[in-house]
Amino acid sequence: MRTETTFHPESRPFKSGVCRFLKFGAASLASAALDLTAFTLLLRAFPETAGGIFATTAIARVLSGICNFSINRGWVFRQSGNTKRQVLSYTLLFFAQMLASAQLVWALSALSVSTTVVKAGVDAALFLISYQIQNRWIFRNTAGKKGGTVFIILQRLAKPWRWAGIYAILLTAAFTLALLDAFVIPKAQIAVVEPPAASDIQMESPSQAETPSQTDQIGSESAFLGEEISAALPMEPVITATSYEDENIRIQIETVREHDTTYYVADVQVSDAAYLRTALAQNTFGRNIKDTTSEMASAHNAIFAVNGDYYGFRDKGYVLRNGILYRETVSDSDALLIDYHGNLSVIDQASATGDILQNAWQIFSFGPALVENGAVVVDESSEVSKSKSSNPRTAIGQISELHYIFIVSDGRTGESAGLSLLQLAQAFKERGAVLAYNLDGGGSSTMYFNGEVVNNPTNGRSEKEREVSDIVYIGYE
Amino acid sequence: MSISDMNKRHSGKAGGKGMRKTVIVYLALSATAIAIDNIYALFGHGVRSASMSFMFLYPLLGGSLLYFLLGAIRPGMVSVKPYRLGYNLYNSGIATLTTGSFFKGILDIAGTASEYTKIFMLIGLAFAITGLVILIATAIRADKKSFPQAARGL
């Protein structure tokens, strides 16, 4: 008896599967090359109008589609069965893939990711899906089976829980990705506008009239008055646990117990607005780029610092720091503007025009305003978004020219309930503030002084300093 | 198929049972959505979001109520094609809308926003509307199958 051994490709499924996939990739590349070549050649035959380009694209696509179908049928999947069914199925897939690519790229282009990266990802995913569809349905061996491709797809998905299972996995993946995008994945962005020209700025101090040139690197907070400030560094500041004083900066910190809450009041006087500075986490503007207030303050040798408006947690609202405009989208809240003279004012973001921005040294978008023209402008019902009435708070106010007041309160603990916006506003008014503005609070609220965190930052569960996007600080660097 | 099965199918009893199961699952999902909102509120420092508080309405009104009505009006449509396609698409739409609402609630409570909320709503609406159209078409078709003479105007 003689035994015959037959080497059929399917006897080694893994190897033949890999081989088929590679062939499929090669066929796709060949079709793409044909598409491009046909497009280039046909472009000479048609006028370069919108209609001409559309016709050229369509003809090139159809040619490359026919080529791809033939190669896949004869060489990649080695099929010779029901041609009519295969042509119909392939045509459906061809148009579905084009539509899906366009729609997905359009939908995902809303994300702040490069469109090229989005298109590459979408097309790669569609390529894999297309392979599976062609391998399993369009060019499958149909001998002895009835029904078309669409029928088979629907039949398979119609089985109880199959669709639900696949969709649940996709939805969970999308939800996780969306959460990561919102809270975790760092995305650096560039500044909108460079610092204004030197001639456009009138500083309080004549010695500090120089400003960065237009050639300064975008996003850099480098050298606004840097050399002059360094030259003015005091030799021997007088520092205690609650105060700091040199010839340019005077800070006095007071701890107050009121409304079942401990809060900290910093009275700050500077000789020039340039000492009232801001810093971004990792010196980079963007979403989910964070650092603790104390780390940022330490990195900039700040004498005193509080958390800023946590701009990176939102997509809207003006962000202008140390003269650089980073974001110019309008949010619903009023913004705080600090001009080059160091004066605070509250502006309606919708009316922020070129003249207003030209004089801006810092802009914060949080709010609300607590005190304006010496009068409290919030009441018992005022609240930040959907926040509850008592919270840890951070706010900044101005008493007079170059004389500021910062208040940070504890809250959400057994020892401190937290302050309402009205209580916070009254604290400013009692200390003579003519204007005060609420910054980001809750777990973000942090006051830093001489290398130490003054308050008790907490998220309500554990006492831990939260990482934020930005700080306001007093310092020389 | 036995004669009793055929009778059940003809009278829509088997379909009614399938619909009833879907109504119960959606009621359970509505209860879960309410529970999630309340558990989340425990950790939200008293901050609530309407998007999260009302997300249970999608499975309750969009799910339970719709299938209850369909089950009452057209119990036999379960066995009419393409019921399953409409069912799958519509359920996917409701799931996407509920998840999108939950996602927006999380962002609202945290005080932030994301472009993804629009994508969830767009895809959810597209699925739900497509599925609903197919379900309604199936219900009409089921009606004609049940009463072919009436459909032909005889």
- Asked if B45 lies within 8 A of A460 by C-beta distance, the reply is yes
- In chain B, residues with a C-beta closer than 8 Å to the C-beta of A442 are 45
Chain A CB contacts of B84 under 8 Å are 158
Higher pLDDT, A331 or A189: A331
Instruction: Return the closest-CA partner of residue A139 out of A69, A215, A187, A34.
Output: A69
When CB atoms are compared, the residue of B47, B103, B123 closest to A175 is B103
**Which of B114, B127, B130, B134 is the best substitution to test chain A (most A C-beta atoms within 10 A)?**
B114
Question: What pLDDT shows up at residue A194?
Answer: 55
pLDDT for A217? 35
Residue A52 tokens, joined: 């001409």
CB contact under 8 A, B47 and A175: no
Nearest to A225 by CA among A270, A277, A283: A277
Confidence at residue A413, expressed as pLDDT on a 0 to 100 scale: 83
Average pLDDT value for residue range A372-398? 81
Mean pLDDT to the nearest integer, A132-160: 66
Identity at A228, one-letter amino acid code: E
Average pLDDT over residues B75-93: 87
Per-residue model confidence (pLDDT) at position B150: 43
The predicted pLDDT at position A212 comes to 36
Give the confidence band of A131 by pLDDT, cuts at 50, 70, 90.
Answer: confident
Query: What is the secondary structure of B23-69 as a DSSP string?
Result: HHHHHHHHHHHHHHHHHHHHTTTT---HHHHTTTHIIIIIIIIHHHH
Arithmetic mean of pLDDT, B47-74: 91
pLDDT at A301 over 90: yes
Confidence of residue A48 (pLDDT cuts 50, 70, 90): low
ipTM of the complex: 0.85
pLDDT band at A154 (very low <50, low <70, confident <90, very high): low
Contacts of A313 in chain B (CB under 8 A): 110-112
pLDDT of A190 > 80? The answer is: no
pLDDT score for A75: 83
Write the pLDDT tens digit of every residue in A324-354: 989 888 888 889 999 999 999 999 888 777 7
Which residues on chain B place their C-beta less than 8 Å from a C-beta of chain A?
43, 45-49, 82, 84-85, 88, 91-92, 95-96, 99, 102-103, 106-116, 118-120, 122-123
- For B47, which of A168, A316, A388 is closest by C-beta distance? A388
> Is the torsion defined by CA of A280, A284, A290, A295 positive or negative?
negative
Give, as one character, the DSSP assignment of residue B127.
H
Count residue pairs from A and B with Cβ separation < 8 A. Answer: 82
Task: Indicate yes or no: CB of A107 within 8 angstroms of CB of B122.
Answer: yes
In B, which residues are within 8 Å of A158 by CB distance? Answer: 84-85, 88
Of residues A192 and A58, the one with the higher pLDDT is A58
Mean of all residue pLDDT scores within chain A? 80
How far A388 CA sits from the closest chain B CA (Å)? 6
Residue B8 pLDDT level (bands cut at 50, 70, 90): very low
What count of other Cβ atoms lies within 10 Å of the Cβ of residue A234?
A: 12
Identify residues of A whose CB sits under 8 angstroms from chain B CBs. Answer: 107-108, 110-112, 154, 157-158, 163-164, 167-168, 171, 174-175, 177-179, 181-183, 313-316, 384-388, 391, 412, 442, 460-461
Distance, CA of B66 to CA of B60 (rounded, Å) = 9
For the four alpha carbons of B95, B101, B104 and B108, in that order, the dihedral sign comes to negative
Confidence of residue A216 (pLDDT cuts 50, 70, 90): very low
Confidence of residue A2 (pLDDT cuts 50, 70, 90): very low
Is A69:A97 a contact under the CB 8 Å cutoff? no
- pLDDT, position A114: 66
Q: What is the model's pLDDT at position A145?
A: 53
Q: In what order do the strands lie in the sheet with A375-376?
A: A238-239, A243-245, A249-258, A261-270, A403-409, A393-400, A435-439, A369-372, A375-376
The residues facing A187 across adjacent strands are A287
Note whether A91 and A62 are within 8 A (CB).
Answer: no
pLDDT of res. A141: 65
Amino acid identity of residue B98, one-letter, is: T
pLDDT at A431 over 90: yes
Q: What's the CA gap between A126 and A109, in Å, rounded?
A: 17
The Cα–Cα gap between A322 and A313 comes to: 20
Which position has the higher pLDDT, A403 or B20?
A: A403
**What strands lie across the sheet with A276-280, from one edge to the other?**
A276-280, A470-474, A304-307, A447-449, A452-453
A394: Cβ contacts below 8 Å, ≥ 6 apart: A306, A307, A406, A407, A408, A438, A439, A440, A441, A444, A445, A446, A447
* Both structure tokens of B122: 């767009």
What pLDDT shows up at residue B29?
95
B96 to chain A, minimum CA–CA distance in Å?
7
* pLDDT grade for A223, boundaries at 50, 70 and 90: very low
Name which of A106, A152, A163 to mutate to probe chain B: the one with the most chain B Cβ atoms within 10 A of its Cβ: A163
Local structure of A252: helix, strand or coil: strand
Has residue A225 got a pLDDT over 50? no
Locate the chain B residue with the closest alpha carbon to A162: B88
Give, to the nearest 10 degrees, the angle between helix A13-45 and helix A115-133: 120
Over residues B125-145, the mean pLDDT reads 87
pLDDT digits (tens, 9 = 90+) for A436-447: 999 998 889 999
Residue A224 above 50 pLDDT? no
Q: How far is B75 from chain A (nearest CA, A)?
A: 18
Under 8 Å between Cβ of A320 and A365: no
What distances in angstroms separate CA A101 from CA A98, A118, A450, one per listed residue? 5, 10, 56
Percent of chain A's residues with pLDDT above 70 = 77
Instruction: Verify whether the Cβ–Cβ distance A171 to B96 is below 8 Å.
Output: yes
Q: A417 with A259: CB under 8 angstroms?
A: yes
So what's the pLDDT on residue A313? 84
Average pLDDT over residues A400-417: 91
Residues of chain B contacting A157 with CB distance shorter than 8 Å? 88
Average pLDDT in the A248-273 region? 94
- How far apart CA A78 and CA A71 sit, in angstroms, is 9
CB contact under 8 A, B113 and A107: no
